Structure 1
Amino acid sequence: MTRDIIINGKFLRAPMTGVHRVAFEISNALADLAEQQAPELGGRRFEVWHSHDGRGRADTIRLPTRDVGPLENILWEQMTLPARQGQPVLLNLCNIGPMASANALTMVHDAQVLLSPKSYSLGFRLWYMSVQRVLARRNRALLTVSEFSRQQIAKTGLAPLDRIHAIHNGVDHVLRVKPDEAVLARLSLKGTNYALALSTVQEHKNIGVLLKAFARAELSGMKLVLFGSAGRETFAAEGHAIPPNVIFAGHVTDGELRTLMQHACALLFPSTTEGFGLPPLEAMLLGTPAICAPCGALPEVCGEAALYADPHDAAAWAAVLSSLARDTDRRASFGTLGRTRAAQFTWRNAARRLLDILDLVEPSRPHSR
């Protein structure tokens, strides 16, 4: 018997973020399983529903898609989607979903709005916390992206542990991206020793510790390349002192980012909390060592294949990075360790884990395996 499952396609209307990446990649991994008629599907048929403003990217999804009207944005998700859902299970992969839908599962990626409230506006926090409380009470189950997030979500009282299920992200999407080497010339990085990090002023991302590290003498001969939306003026407005060896790359394409990762001495990730942490694994899969804070899900995800530094100690970051830069054998060793570790995280495995969870929470369906 075929059982339809609807995937909430609101991610098709927005620029790609880490959260949207998960929805996109799991959807296409399910499409691959469907094309191969994998027995794990157990007769399920997935379809991505989206609003009118998402149809421009609908062809990037290999599952069947459906343009469902009327309305757009939050109103579409909270009103149109549950009104049109009918009997199928609804799968929300981007933190929130329609509060009116009980026959649903929602992936809550992390508990960051509670763990790091200063990283978000008051309105955003209140909206997410209100919606997620309703979903936790009404949905069949919650999903998340790591055991760390599962434990943290349970500690907030959102839902008990036995109703929260972890699905590790994949990272193999980075291998499909064609490198764009022109970015090295554009940023004057050819022949330059540099480290790479995300450019954001969100408190929990903790980029300030890197700015302090690169102001130290031991890193004076290395550059810090920050990619992302926050520019020099944004950091200065937040009171950060910016050393001269920091380069703000701005928004980069996937191809440019792959090139920047491949040529970097290391990917730096000093987050004080993290639900999963895709960038370190992406870099590791490309053979670039990752230096992380030993916080959140980062030790769970990166294991002993990454290096670690105290998130509050700029001197520690400078010491670990400068030592790595001097030791080519150590860089090569961590490059190999990283590739091996990151190769375990595939979107096919994530899709299969999702199917296992659906077997558990759909009581009317016999287990397919």
Structure 2
Amino acid sequence: MKPIVFNGKFLTVAPTGVHRVAEELIQAFERLMVNCQLVGELPEVTVAAPTTAERKPALSLIRLIKQGFASGLPREFPWEQINLPWIARNALLINLCNMGPIFHPDSLTMIHDAQVYLTPASYSLGFRLWYRLIQPLLGRTNRRILTVSEYSKVQLVRYGIAPAEKITVIYNGCDHVLTHKPAPGFVAERGLERGGYVVALSSTQAHKNIRVLFKAFSDQRLSHLTLVLFGATNRETFENLGFEVPANVRFVGRINDAELSALMVEALAFACPSTTEGFGLPPLEAMILGCPSIISPCGALPEVCGDAALQAAPHTPDQWVEQVLRLADDQGLQARLREKGRQRAGLFTWDTAARKLAEVIGLTVLDASLETSASATKSR
């Protein structure tokens, strides 16, 4: 089997949700290798990263190499487009973070969503133009496109990224959160009480739709509860952008995995009001920890969460108020959602995702071998 190279450009920046997927999937792929669950001879597997990469995934069998003359340039794009194809010239290249080099057709690229088409206001003009230029080229030249939900697959087909028969869905896992023991005392130190707050991701991106939560928590019916937002975006940033932030909103900033686990374990609910999501990992992370989720019925959220989460319309604050109050007033409902949420989220594991990736790699290598054989036959 030919060597495999994972695109490690994501190791140069602070981790985001997409980067989390890449790191967890590579680690799970290594567990498959260690457990000898990959069929046939084990390939040589490498993560290739720019020399500026400071983070290092927890790997023992898979090598990390750092090289490339263009690695110090802005956003690492030149490294990905110039250096990486040479580094992976005789290998199957796997790109897990939406992008990859144009001139390496022996590739698989995971494109998580079509948000640059669905919610262009969430991204800068340069970002939108780059994605709209490169991703359709990857869809045409790569051996296969991977994505994270059936919803995303439909959208990638809709916007001409790739035909349906060329796209494989590999669902994210969420079981990584179970490896982090909740940080003791974190919730109390923030002045929060168990069951007295709702958690959500702090983001100004248009499709994250935090405005509807601000409107809901400005309602007097929720004045006794707190909306806790985690992430880099603070109150001042929202207010400078014209958001009206209620007094009962608390910003806890960037937090680590143990602190996030503590926050979710003791929360009344996790709220995800997004108008679209390619997958929707945070609600599942909450559910597997026993925190009920309230989601909008948009994007891949219903596909992923099933009937194990409550739903509220994305632009109707009253529905969010009502669903939060239902949970607060009904301990039986809380218990049922905790149990259903754990069961549903437990279906999404990184080991399952890695096995699916291994299957796709097997098919890809077979396809490449058939093409080589066909070319040799024609040349005779």
TM-score (norm 2): 0.93
Among 259, 276, 289, the alignment partner of 1:286 is: 289
Paired position in structure 2 for 1:58: 56
8 Å contact kept, 2:108–2:143: yes
User: 3-state DSSP class of the match of 2:173?
Assistant: coil
Distance 1:182 1:100 in 2: 51
Among 160, 165, 168, the alignment partner of 1:165 is: 168
Paired position in structure 2 for 1:356: 359
| Match status 1:210 vs 2:213 | yes
8 Å contact kept, 1:24–1:61: no
8 Å contact kept, 1:9–1:49: yes
User: 3-state DSSP class of the match of 1:44?
Assistant: coil
Q: Which amino acid is 1:295 matched to?
A: C
Distance 1:303 1:192 in 2: 23
Paired position in structure 1 for 2:378: none
8 Å contact kept, 1:41–1:355: no
Instruction: Spell out the pairing of 1:44-83 with structure 2 (5 A cutoff).
Output: 44-54=43-53, 56-62=54-60, 63-72=62-71, 73-83=76-86
8 Å contact kept, 1:147–1:297: yes
8 Å contact kept, 1:218–1:319: no
Distance 2:316 2:258 in 1: 33
Among 197, 200, 204, the alignment partner of 1:197 is: 200
Instruction: Classify 1:365/1:102 alpha carbon distance in 2 versus 1 (closer, same or farther; 3 Å).
Output: closer
Paired position in structure 2 for 1:302: 305
Distance 2:191 2:171 in 1: 36
* Structure 1 residue 297: Cα displacement: 0.3
Instruction: Classify 1:192/1:32 alpha carbon distance in 2 versus 1 (closer, same or farther; 3 Å).
Output: closer
Distance 1:191 1:203 in 2: 30
In the TM superposition, what whole-angstrom CA distance separates every residue of 1:38-92 from its partner, at most 9, and x where no partner exists? Answer: 13465333211111111x3225334221122222122211111112222211000
Distance 2:342 2:195 in 1: 23
Instruction: Classify 1:191/1:292 alpha carbon distance in 2 versus 1 (closer, same or farther; 3 Å).
Output: closer
Instruction: Spell out the pairing of 1:1-369 with structure 2 (5 A cutoff).
Output: 2-40=1-39, 43-54=42-53, 56-62=54-60, 63-72=62-71, 73-191=76-194, 193-362=196-365, 363-364=367-368
Instruction: Classify 1:59/1:203 alpha carbon distance in 2 versus 1 (closer, same or farther; 3 Å).
Output: closer
User: 3-state DSSP class of the match of 1:101?
Assistant: coil
User: 3-state DSSP class of the match of 2:303?
Assistant: helix
Distance 2:174 2:57 in 1: 22
Q: Which amino acid is 2:50 matched to?
A: S
Structure 1's unaligned 5+ residue stretches are: none
Distance 2:15 2:39 in 1: 28
Distance 1:210 1:163 in 2: 38
Q: Percent identity?
A: 46
Distance 1:59 1:263 in 2: 29
* Structure 1 residue 364: Cα displacement: 4.4
* Structure 1 residue 12: Cα displacement: 1.1
* Structure 1 residue 112: Cα displacement: 0.3
Distance 1:25 1:271 in 2: 24
* Structure 1 residue 222: Cα displacement: 0.5
TM-score (norm 1): 0.95
8 Å contact kept, 2:194–2:266: no
8 Å contact kept, 2:194–2:267: no
Distance 1:15 1:275 in 2: 21
8 Å contact kept, 1:40–1:352: no
Distance 1:41 1:20 in 2: 29
Structure 2's unaligned 5+ residue stretches are: 371-380
* Structure 1 residue 191: Cα displacement: 4.8
User: 3-state DSSP class of the match of 2:52?
Assistant: helix
Instruction: Classify 1:169/1:192 alpha carbon distance in 2 versus 1 (closer, same or farther; 3 Å).
Output: closer
Distance 2:57 2:312 in 1: 42
Greater alpha carbon shift after TM alignment, 186-195 vs 87-96: 186-195
8 Å contact kept, 2:195–2:266: no
* Structure 1 residue 232: Cα displacement: 0.6
User: How many correspondences in the alignment?
Assistant: 364
8 Å contact kept, 2:271–2:294: yes
Q: Which amino acid is 2:99 matched to?
A: I
User: 3-state DSSP class of the match of 1:225?
Assistant: strand
Distance 2:33 2:286 in 1: 30
User: 3-state DSSP class of the match of 1:268?
Assistant: strand
* Structure 1 residue 138: Cα displacement: 1.1
User: 3-state DSSP class of the match of 1:229?
Assistant: coil
Q: CA RMSD in A?
A: 1.4
* Structure 1 residue 320: Cα displacement: 0.6
User: 3-state DSSP class of the match of 2:3?
Assistant: strand
